[in-house]
Amino acid sequence: MALIFQSEEMCLVQLFFQSESGYCCISELGELGLVQFKDLNPGTTAFQRKFIKEVRRCEEMERILWFLEKEITKAGIPMADASVLGEAPCARELLELESVIEKVDKDLKEINSSHEALKRNLTELLEMKYLLQMIQDFFEETPIDLPDRLTFSSHSLTPSSLSSLCRFVAGVIKQERFPAFERVLWRVCRGNFFLRHSEIQARFEDPVATILKKEVFIIFLQGEQFKGKIGKICEGFGLTASHSKALNHCFICDHVILVFFSPKVLNQTNEHRHNVLTSAAVNIQNWKTKVKKMKAIYHTLNLCSIDITQKLVIAEIWCPVSDLSEIHSALIKGSEKSGSSLHPVLHRIESQQTPPTFNRTTSFTSSFQTIIDSYGVGDYQEINPAPFTIITFPFLFAVMFGDCGHGLIMTLFATWMILQEGHFKRLKNEVCALSDTLFSGRYILLLMGLFSVYTGLIYNDCFSKSLSIFASAWNVRAMFQPTGPWTNHTVHSSVTLQLDPVSPGVFSGSPYPFGIDPIWNLSSNKLTFLNSYKMKMSVIFGVVHMLFGIMLSLGNYMEPRNILLQFVPEVTFMLALFGYLVFLIIFKWCAVPSSASRRAPSILLHFINMMMFSYPESSDSFLYGSQVGCIVQIFLVVTALLMVPWMLLVKPLIILKEQKKEQRSTKELVSWQKKRNSESIQHLEGDTVFLQVNMGDVFVHQAIHTIEYCLGCVSNTASYLRLWALSLAHAELSEVLWKMVPHVALSARAYLGSLMLTVIFAIFAILTVTILLIMEGLSAFLHALRLHCKFAGVPVTLFAEFSPEMSQ
Amino acid sequence: MVSHSLTLPMVIFTILWGLVGIVAPLFVPKGPNRGVIITMLITTAVCCYLFWLIAILAQANPLFGPQLKNETIWYLRYYWE
């Protein structure tokens, strides 16, 4: 049972096994996931390690697999999930797997390139087809009337006669570039050309799969020079333009070729590609797992050292003491699988190094352990606060959230997530990271919801309304005559009136048994009462939580003298000041009757006066007898002030005294040895100088610790006031939402009000979930986290288990 | 208004959280999670009991009363016992 309260005891173990069985043994250990390998070749770079070639091969395979996966998802083929989380393959399978994967890769590359080429050809031919079609259309047109300056004779020219007079250049161009093309042509040829263009109706796809619009154009021109210039312009725009001479022959060939290269061929290529990808898709997840495991195993083998004879592999691992037998059996299994006759040897060795910290967790406790670890992993065998955090974290959240209606929704949501666990785990890879986080925190969410329901019932806040489970402790009727001062006239004349607890019968004498009285929800000075209550509650919880933390840290003290030197002054300081404050709060609640309300002293002023040693003359300002109170308070403040130098100075002074004693004894040793051997003096003097430098460190360290603790006490107590602040914010937001949204519909007098209510309820629900649940929930979560950070220790190495599966 | 007593709720809730925090841990079945469950029960009992106790003590001797609107007063005068 003590195991969860402390991190586990770890041991350093040396493993010896044969080189042949090395691979299998490590794969067995990987399946177990209980060991951390130490790097025995720290001096070598990555390139010098023994198994670097195999690691490279695995990486190459991973790259191919990644490329395959992309192709498969692009083609929209569903991939089969990793079937059995099988064991890592043996070394022989590496070659097999490699050849299979490379073959698939080569096939796919070939298919892709031929597909590209075919598509390009098809596009060109299609362009040509449209071009020819357009030219044909153009020549069959009715004759056009050209302006006079272009004609040689007075009669109009048919386009066919035009072609005999001048040459033409025709081609296909992208529609967006056409205006630029036209402008350039105009400038170069100075308008001595005739250009016709029309849009191609069909759409083209270019290799990047964007849809393009293209146009065919035909330019008529005179003269050789123009032909050359236009040729150059077409080159500049990246077009292939055909001249009049070349076009005549292509007519017939074109159609034939198009039939030949019809989309049928393209389809066949696509189908073949699809088949290859589908067959790959079946196995791809399994391959990925296998390659990952192999890479991890070779990586680990790189960490081990191979001895001179090349026959023995030596590895050093950190593992929990309680798991030694499991590890041993796993090793035996591995060596049997590889068929070697010798079993591996386990040899536990002592080490001066601090072992890594390992906290064993179940699926329930792991989320809480993550929260604690996020602030800093505890030292080796330090007290682990996680078991307590399981309750205190959701509880502090609930104090800040405090609404039983919202808490109920949260509980239901968390319960749904827990019941759908199997469904969520299967979806794990596909859902976004945010819902992944939400899912892994489902137990925290459940506890937070449950505690919120409880605190909501105590705050008597359910969607900003109070529940009146028991009857209220306050009575209005008693304020009226004859028992009280009010008459009907008083009620008519003033808008608000305040109930007086002193009047007989108004306050029943005993408070509402469970939580806050429901009458406060109806009153306009609700916040005056609630603020005082919640602030005091925050301070009480803060002091209790901090004291609990200090008590827990008692378990971390190794030497008993440290307890006296550090723990006792810490606790005394805290109790003398803040413990007394808590006592004052509770005493005032219990002992000051309503009749004394006019004379009731303010705790805050009281406390300030106590710290400043100012005691005014009037005896009213004391809660209990003034003489006794004076003495008690002075005693407490003086004690607390005395703790500061105790924490600051006593421990370093004791250490200093011890050093001096050692110094004196070594000096005596030195002078005695001087008579015998003069060489060792240098060595010893060097030691004493070293010790003296350390003393400064000790003093500074102690001073920092003292200041941190004392100031921390004050500031942390104040920081717990966020419990009050956030619960106030939540309650007020809730009330505003109610007033602005459903209240409007509920107070509508017409029948239309019921229709409005339907719409408005939807708005109310959405706003409740987004603002009050999500936003406030996250905010309260953050602040509860902040309040737990005092359990953080010095960051140390966390136990990094070797388990290739875990990274999936 | 029903006259409540202070002692009855005190006794009931002390017994209730006492059961949760002191008696129930004795009945947790032995297993790897025994320590965690006992810790959880005790922490819950302490936190919840303290929270309830603070709420009831804060209202035990009220130094001022609620301030109500006159419409509310009129309503409560006739509809609350």
Q: What percent of chain B has pLDDT over 90?
A: 47
Binning pLDDT at 50, 70 and 90, where does residue A101 land? confident
**Can you say whether the dihedral through the CA atoms of B12, B17, B23, B28 is positive or negative?**
positive
Query: CB neighbours of A148 closer than 8 A, spacing ≥ 6?
Result: none
Nearest CA in chain B to A494: B70
User: Which of A454, A473, A495 lies at the smallest CB-CB distance from B48?
Assistant: A454
Q: Which residues of A touch B3 (CB under 8 A)?
A: 508-510
pLDDT beyond 60 at B10: yes
Residue of B nearest to A523 (CA): B68
A473 and chain B: CB distance < 8 Å anywhere?
Answer: yes
At B11 the pLDDT is 92
Q: What is the pLDDT of residue A702?
A: 87
B73, A491: Cβ pair inside 8 Å? yes
- A 10 A CB-CB count for A695 gives 14
**pLDDT averaged over every residue in chain A:** 78
Whole-prediction pTM value? Answer: 0.73
Q: Which span out of A290-294, A430-434, A588-592, A675-679 was modeled with the highest average pLDDT?
A: A588-592
B30: contact with A, CB 8 A cutoff:
no
Are B65 and A507 within 8 A, CB to CB? yes
Is pLDDT of A452 > 90? yes
pLDDT of residue A153: 46
Task: Rounding to the nearest 10 degrees, give the CA dihedral for residues A138, A141, A143, A149.
Answer: -20
**CB of B62 within 8 Å of any CB in chain A?**
yes
A198 touches A215 (CB < 8 A): yes
Closest Cα of chain B to A545: distance in Å?
Answer: 10
Residues in chain B: 81
Q: Which of A4, A522, A525 sits opposite B35 (nearest CB)?
A: A4
3-state SS record for A324-371: HHHHHHHHHHHHHHCCCCCCCEEEEECCCCCCCECCCCCCCCHHHHHH
- For residue B70, the chain A residues in CB contact (below 8 A) are 491-492, 494-497
Q: How does DSSP assign A754-777, residue by residue?
A: HHHHHHHHHHHHHHIIIIIIIIHH
Provide the pLDDT for residue A713.
85
Q: Are B17 and B48 in contact (CB under 8 A)?
A: yes
Does the pLDDT at position A469 exceed 70?
A: yes
Radius of gyration of chain B, Cα coordinates, nearest whole angstrom: 20
Nearest to B80 among A476, A524, A594 (CB): A476
Residue A291 and residue A86 in contact, taking contact as beta carbons nearer than 8 Å: no
For residue A467, how many other CB atoms are within 10 A of its CB?
A: 16
Closest residue in A to B11 (Cα–Cα): A513
Nearest to B4 among A399, A508, A537 (CB): A508
Q: Does A529 touch chain B (CB under 8 A)?
A: yes
The reply to whether B69 touches chain A by the CB within 8 Å rule is: yes
- The C-alpha atoms of residue A508 and residue A474 are separated, in whole angstroms, by 6
In one letter, which amino acid is A141? E
Q: Is B22 on the interface with A (CB under 8 A)?
A: no
Q: Is B63 helix (H, G, I), strand (E, B) or coil?
A: coil
Binary contact (A458, B63; C-beta < 8 A): no
Higher pLDDT pick, A800 / B7: B7
Task: Give the pLDDT confidence score for residue B59 in this predicted structure.
Answer: 92
Of B4, B40, B66, the CB nearest to A510: B4
378-397 in chain A: CB under 8 A from chain B: 387-388, 390-392, 395
Residue A645: Cβ within 10 Å count: 11
pLDDT band of residue A518 (cuts 50, 70, 90) is very high
Question: For A645-704, how does the pLDDT look when each residue is reduced to its tens digit (9 = 90+)?
Answer: 888 888 888 888 888 888 888 888 878 777 766 554 445 554 544 455 577 888 888 889
Q: What is the mean pLDDT of residues A92-99?
A: 78
The per-residue pLDDT for range A772-805, each reduced to its tens digit, is 888 888 888 888 877 776 543 333 455 665 655 4
Residue A749 structure tokens = 């007098």
Give the three-state DSSP class for A139: helix
- Give whole-number Cα distances, A166 to A162, A169, A223, A244, in Å: 6, 10, 8, 9
Nearest CA in chain A to B55: A515
Q: Smallest Cβ distance to A523: which of B5, B68, B70?
A: B68
- Band (pLDDT 50/70/90 cuts) for residue A413 is very high
Query: What's the pLDDT tens digit per position in A155-200?
Result: 444 555 555 555 677 777 777 888 888 888 888 877 777 777 777 7
Contacts of B45 in chain A (CB under 8 A): none
Contact in structure between A390 and A365 (CB atoms under 8 Å): yes
Per-window interface: A 593-612 vs B, CB < 8 A? 593-594, 597, 600
The percentage of residues in chain A with a pLDDT greater than 90, rounded to a whole number, is: 12
Instruction: Looking at the complex, report in whole angstroms how far the Cα of residue A11 sits from the nearest Cα belonging to chain B.
Output: 22
Chain A: residue nearest B32 by CA?
Answer: A1
Contact by Cβ (8 Å): A559, A696:
no
The lowest-confidence range among A347-351, A452-456, B46-50 is A347-351
The answer to whether A499 contacts chain B (CB < 8 Å) is: yes
Strands (E), A589-745: none
Question: For residue B13, which of B66, B63, B50 has the smallest C-alpha distance?
Answer: B50
The reported pLDDT for the residue numbered A194 is: 78
Q: State the Cα–Cα distance between residues A127 and A215, nearest whole angstrom.
A: 9
Which strand ranges, in their side-by-side order, compose the sheet holding A193-199?
A193-199, A214-221, A167-174, A241-243
Of the candidates A388, A513, A592, the beta carbon closest to that of B9 is on A513
Interface check A590 vs B, CB under 8 A: yes
* Residue among A290, A294, A288 nearest A68 (CA): A288
Q: What is the pLDDT of residues A376-395, one digit of tens each?
A: 666 666 677 778 888 888 99
**pLDDT tens profile B58-72:** 999 899 999 999 888
Residue A154 confidence class, pLDDT cut points 50, 70, 90: very low
Partner residues linked to A173 by β-bridges: A215
- Which chain B residues are closer than 8 Å to A525 by Cβ? 64, 66-67
Mean pLDDT computed over A313-336: 79
The answer to whether residues B73 and A529 touch, using CB atoms and an 8 Å cutoff, is no
